[in-house]
Amino acid sequence: MSEAPVETPTEKPVEKTNASQAEEGEKKLTNKELKELKKRQKLEKRAARKESSGIPNQADEKAAKGKQKSQQQQQQQASHGVISRGLKQEVNTLKKVSLFSHLESKEQRNELSLSQSQVTNIIHPAVLSLTLKYSGYSIVGSIPRCKSMLRAFERVISEYQTPEGTTLTRNLTNYLGYQIDYLKTARPLSVAMGNAIRWLKQEISLISIDTSDSDAKAQLVEKIDTFIKEKIDISDKVIIQAASAHIQNGSTILTFGQSNVLKQLFIYNHEELGKSFNVIVVDSRPLFEGKQLAEELCTKGLKVQYVLINSLSSVIQDVDTVFLGAHAMLSNGFLYSRVGAALIAMKAKNANIPVLVCCESIKFSDRVQLDSVTLNEMGDTEDLINWNQLNHVKKSSVALRKFIETHEEKDQQQQQQQKPKVKSGGAEPTLAKNEMPLKDWKTNPYLNILNIMYDLTPPEYIQKIITEVGALPPSSVPVILREYKASTV
């Protein structure tokens, strides 16, 4: 008697509740959902009409194309994502010296270049090849880098096409901005490059809107040519004429690394003025820029002595004058140059030897800096690790390269002959140390590698700065800055 009344009321309310829930779900549609339903219904009606009339559905074609594009983009993003994740892991695990941890490393610049892979279609081929040369140190030096950049910009401007709906003065600056950002991924811009870029953007802004694109591009290319001639070529000639008075017959000149204007100065005094003097080229790791300078001076017939910076104290006593190149001259009179220049200037000051700096006005900066920690360039740490005692001289000549190769082959044969026989089950003894003892430095928690590119030389160590404006003390750098700005306006 109790089971029958229990079964009948349970089944019917369940059906009612399901139906009522469906009705309530239909009634609870929001305004947005109702609009979407109406749009879908309209699209379905249009598609049905087109199908009945025989017209292909464009929406389906667009959807198919969109799917193909999305699949391609997903594949590209996946491939780039794998590489970028690997680079990010390397960057995150990168060991840095705490004092220089704020400086951008080469690994971080590589990550930036990879993240810009989606805009490589707007990067000009001349800029792509130039970036590779910068990153591989094929072009080294502030002036050579600036000159090659301006020559590349000439090609970029001459082949530039203004998009529809815009003007050259508005769009060309943005287009050059992509090229400049890509150049920064190889190495930071030098002071001379920054000054040249600011001048070029100013010249672009001064072009009239009524000027045709062909005329505007021709004017810009011509202005770049005159800028290179006036600010670099003619400036170097004036500096050489002024600095030649400080080189005497029989004197001994010391220089550090390689400077383009100093190389021209030494060759001019030897060939044109017929002076006989000795040149001591001091060099340092890891770029060994002084080797190229020493080789070129020797081919011109100059007497050259090549030493590394650790032998500076042995040769400084015989020096009459020290000539240094510059990466930049700061407004407070400090010299910003290749690391090691401050040490040479300090040793020369202690020995009462005059220190002269040859620097173009395009290298002068408004920046004030008191140490080489705040702003600097971090070189590749692997350049200090992957180095062999014989590898750095293999570029000098073919004969020396052949001698080194035969020497290495003989060493390998001797090692194989002297190698003792190992009994079965025994471990093979190691005859020599690891060729690169610091190659596992990343896994060593007690070791960090630091490779900075520049240092600061205080103005009290510098006697004179020779520019195209004149020979002035370091305290007169603001005067030269005013002259440079007045000439570029």
> In a 10 Å sphere around its CB, with 0-12 CB exposed, 13-18 middle and 19+ buried, how is residue 93 labelled?
exposed
Q: What is the DSSP string of 298-349?
A: HHTT-EEEEEEGGGHHHHGGG-SEEEE--SEE-TTS-EEEETTHHHHHHHHH
Q: Look at 29 and 71; give whichever has higher pLDDT.
A: 29
Closest CA to 255 of 325, 313, 314, 315: 325
Closest CA to 201 of 144, 253, 153, 248: 153
> What domains are there in the chain, each with its CATH number?
101-234 (1.20.120), 237-379+452-488 (3.40.50.10470)
Q: What is the mean pLDDT of residues 263-292?
A: 95
For the whole prediction, is pTM greater than 0.85?
Answer: no
Task: Write the pLDDT tens digit of every residue in 42-71.
Answer: 778 777 765 555 444 554 555 555 555 555
Q: What are phi and psi of 443, to 5 degrees?
A: -95, -5
The pLDDT, as a whole number, for residue 18 is 46
Task: Write the pLDDT tens digit of every residue in 131-166.
Answer: 999 988 999 999 999 999 999 999 999 999 999 888
Residue 457 pLDDT more than 60?
yes
The pLDDT, as a whole number, for residue 464 is 95
